[in-house]
Amino acid sequence: MEARELNQRLVAALPGLEQKYRDTVSWQDGDETGSHVVYGDVLAPAIETLLAHGDFGLARKYFDYLENLLALDDSYAEEVVALSVIEYLYYGTLHRAAVKAQLGGRCRKLWEDFETYDKGIAPTPGEGDDHAQGRR
């Protein structure tokens, strides 16, 4: 999957993020803006805000979207979810317990990979061939 398709999936599945998405990509490469930028600047902060305000229902919808992306078994989508959303939340949230409680199986596995990584016994989660090719 390429950035354009992954970005379009985001706004199709979560239309409440469309304005923030448009604001983010308007001064960059439009729909071709790298998905790491889009998911890291649009989706991850939106989830953090929802959790901060106790809107666990909508946060769960966003996590379900991520689960559906991961179910596609696409390496680029997995890299973006792992490094631009899960990592953002793992290292940046004040609501770790709330995040972990909302995660489905595939997202929880990525979260647990970061926990393992923090113990110094695993490579960085989500890094794969696409990362080495310089996709953003």
Residues found in the chain:
136
Q: CB-based contacts of 131: which residues, under 8 Å, 6+ apart?
A: 79, 83
Q: pTM score, two decimals?
A: 0.85
Residue 131's Cα: distance from chain center in Å? 15
pLDDT digits (tens, 9 = 90+) for 90-108: 998 788 888 998 999 999 9
Q: Which pair of tokens denotes residue 46?
A: 């939106």
**136 residues of the chain, pLDDT tens digit each:** 999 999 999 999 999 999 999 999 999 998 999 999 999 999 999 999 999 999 999 999 999 999 999 999 999 999 999 999 999 999 987 888 889 989 999 999 999 999 888 887 655 666 554 443 444 3
Sign of the Cα torsion 125, 130, 131, 136 reads negative
